[in-house]
Amino acid sequence: MDLMHAIRTFVRVADAGSFTAAAQASDQSTAHVSRLVADLERHLQARLLQRTTRRVSLTEAGARYLEHCRRILADLDAANAEAGGAHLTPRGRLRVHSIIGFGTQFLAPLAARYRDRWPEVTLDLMLSQRNPDPLEEGHDVVISLSRQLSDSDLVAQHIADIHSVVCASPAYLRQHGIPRTPDELVEHRCLRLVDPAFPEGWVFLEDGLERPVRPPVAFQVNVAEAIAQAAEAGMGICLLPDYVAANLLMQGRLVRLLPEHRLHPKGLYAVYPSRRYLDAKVKTWIAFLKEEVPKAFDGVAAIIEDRRYWADATRL
């Protein structure tokens, strides 16, 4: 029996939840996959999987063995990559996950420039409004937006800081007036971006201290671009990431409120599994982001701080 082949097959079956799915994923017959796992169980003198007509499940011994197998395979793959020169030349498939707005506005255009520099790399970009675990979901790099990352075995490289700005449409402000302090927000209709990084509400910074403000919510959604459209339609006041707000401010569709009251920034991180041998495509992608994203954000900051785009009763 090829022990490593049997171990890899067992891991595939455990991940897929069935012999048939594992066989299809590895281009093998179901009978062959089943026989490999049975041979492994005989070799170990332990039952690893419970079989039913519909799916398989791990036994207690199987769950413990799976954990060890994952570590062994990860170390073996890293060693093979090192021996094969993967740490020297960026090539292969780079799987990146990002939040939607940042991925659409920045990563998609940057991907083309990265490919020009490293043409042997194929980029898979997945977008959603969550921060998945790269180990669990098979991503090489996760672009995460967070106030503070939780402790884990993952590596996080800081890319940039993202600042939020308070915005509203000129039409809304003409009808309801301009709030001059965070406390006055409670007198307005506000739109909430559902964000697990800020569960306590809108967090302002005053003398280095955090001051949460909880305005009444007229509408909420979990995508910044949708909040921006609602604000543009006059539904109320919203909080937007600076990179989402910038173009809308320049176009006059929104104006900035409370510019002298700063909000707590969030960090933009590239998160990836800790490995002894870091693949060159991951290393060069992160270096590329650290080089290019701050330059792009400089232009965003210039717009946000331009007084022409701040709320002024004489110009509404």
Let me know: does 279 contact 140? Beta carbons within 8 Å: yes
Distance in angstroms (rounded) separating the CA atoms of residues 280 and 92: 10
For 251-268, give the secondary structure using H, E and C: CCCCEEECCCCCECCEEE
Mean pLDDT by 10 residues, the chain (316 residues): 90 89 87 92 92 84 92 85 68 91 90 93 90 81 80 83 94 95 93 73 84 89 90 95 94 95 89 78 94 93 94 75
Distance in angstroms (rounded) separating the CA atoms of residues 73 and 8: 8
Determine how many CB atoms are found less than 10 A away from the CB of residue 210: 12
Query: Residue 110: which H helix or E strand, with range?
Result: helix 108-117
Report the predicted TM-score, pTM, of the whole model to 2 decimal places: 0.68
- Angle at which helices 280-304 and 108-117 cross, to 10°: 140
Determine how many CB atoms are found less than 10 A away from the CB of residue 90: 21
Q: What is the pLDDT of residue 276?
A: 64
Distance in angstroms (rounded) separating the CA atoms of residues 279 and 59: 34
Query: Residue 17: which H helix or E strand, with range?
Result: none
Let me know: does 16 contact 53? Beta carbons within 8 Å: no
Let me know: does 63 contact 103? Beta carbons within 8 Å: no
**Secondary structure (3-state) at 201:** coil
Residue with tokens 């403000």: 213
Let me know: does 33 contact 10? Beta carbons within 8 Å: no
| Beta-ladder partners of 212 | 203
- CA dist 83 to 75, 94, 97, 162, 284, Å? 12, 19, 27, 39, 19
Distance in angstroms (rounded) separating the CA atoms of residues 290 and 143: 12
Distance in angstroms (rounded) separating the CA atoms of residues 207 and 189: 27
225-238: b (≥16 Cβ within 10 Å) or e: ebbbbbbbebbbbb
Q: What is the pLDDT of residue 10?
A: 92
Which tokens in the block code for residue 281?
A: 């495509």
Q: What is the pLDDT of residue 297?
A: 92
CA 81 to chain centre: 26
- CA dist 99 to 4, 107, 143, 182, 207, Å? 37, 10, 7, 28, 31
Which tokens in the block code for residue 208?
A: 């280095």
Q: What is the pLDDT of residue 138?
A: 83
Q: What is the pLDDT of residue 126?
A: 93
- CA dist 25 to 13, 201, 208, Å? 10, 45, 53
